Amino acid sequence: MSASDQRRIAVIGAGIGGLTLAIALRRYGIGVDIYEQTSELREVGAAVALSANATRFFEQFGLTTELSSRWFEVSALIFRDGRSGSVIGRHDVGATYRKRFGAPYVGIHRADLQAILSAAVGLDSIRLRKRLVDIDDSGARAMLRFDDGCTSDADLVIGADGARSFVRRWVLGYDDALYSGCSGFRGMVPMAAVPTLPDPTALQFWMGPGGHLLHYPMGHDHINFLLVERHPAPWPRRDWILPATEGEQLRHFAQWHPAVVEMITARPISDRWGLFHRPPLGRWTRGRVTLLGDAAHQLAPHHGQGAGQSIEDAVVLAACLKSGSGTLADALERYERLRRGRTRKVQYASISAADVLHLPDGDNADRRNARLASLDGALHHLSWIHEFDASRQEPSERQGGTWL
């Protein structure tokens, strides 16, 4: 038995990234213990869009049949003027996308995805009601302490505990969340509730000065949307969520296209979500503790890559930890070398996308529209993300590069 097979690995968080890591490691014969703070497995948010850089791995894991009955394959990528509804750019996805990138572009309810991934991991590997409150890495192994008084030790601790990561705070010594200047309302509506919506099976951006609406189809004949506006500034409280009153979602969008208004008023208003992100880190690892997914590189949501980059992280980290990968320190250094440059570039692209989507009327908006009208122009912003296969490629300079 190799040293990597004997390592005790603790994963903090049973979200998409942590579960994917457990599945990927098991393919190399490496087991993990997953510690989840909630009393039941549940994902925050209604749905997630997954592009080919993520969905290609579900086929490798043998999960495509189960997932394909739950997800909805996006038919097109469409950019629209949010006020007039006119099409700025329309690009087929479906079979054309699969042929170009080797895997589908889909929307799926987070709960469906988590249920399938957790079943693949096995519930016997997941310990619920385990809120981590301390890490002591001064001994022969890292010692974990939970709020119920229990402890556990591990040769490697992987913080996959999301955007509000305790493990990241332990690695850094402080909370470094940054408000992006935008907030949003999230919703999930039946397709039947938006009869005036054109192209309901497409992923669409409705753009305008100071805001945008993103929506895409998901399983169960529903549509998931995120309505974003540049408001308020600054964010007024420590919590990332503000209570909202009905009609507040129309503050900026009341005069937008009727299909936009129909969608954002089809269900009772959600809370207002502050859209936070975190700055890229110089290192992800402290001693025997490293980070994965949002804990390492929380993104603004405008490229839809939060889950995708977590899945890429998981595939790469598993490969680095497999038998024959050398010492644990070597494996973690290789993991960071392969991931930090790419995720940094995706972080920058995601935060700057809001500036592009929210341009005021004028020459810059006209130039943006001309670029997005062409397939080559749209692919300039997307292909370097979607084409990447983290199991077979090192990222090129365009794809983010490799560096420490």
Residues with active-site annotation: 216
CA distance 392 to 338: 12
Per DSSP bridges, beta strands 132-136 and 126-127 are unpaired
Distances (CA, A) of 242 to 275, 314, 355: 11, 32, 23
Q: How far is CA 343 from CA 252, 270, 305, in A?
A: 32, 30, 10
Query: How far out from the chain centre does Cα 300 lie?
Result: 9
Distance CA 339, CA 316 (A): 8
* Calpha distance 363→221 (Å, rounded): 39
Beta strands in 169-271 (DSSP E): 178-190, 203-208, 211-218, 222-229, 241-242
CA-based torsion, 148, 149, 153, 158: positive or negative:
positive
In sequence order, the β-bridge partners of residue 276 are 179
Strands 126-127 and 33-35: parallel
CA distances from 327 to 116, 155, 195, 336 (A): 33, 12, 58, 14
Alpha-helical (H) ranges within 301-327 are 306-321
Contact 104, 217 (CB under 8 A): no
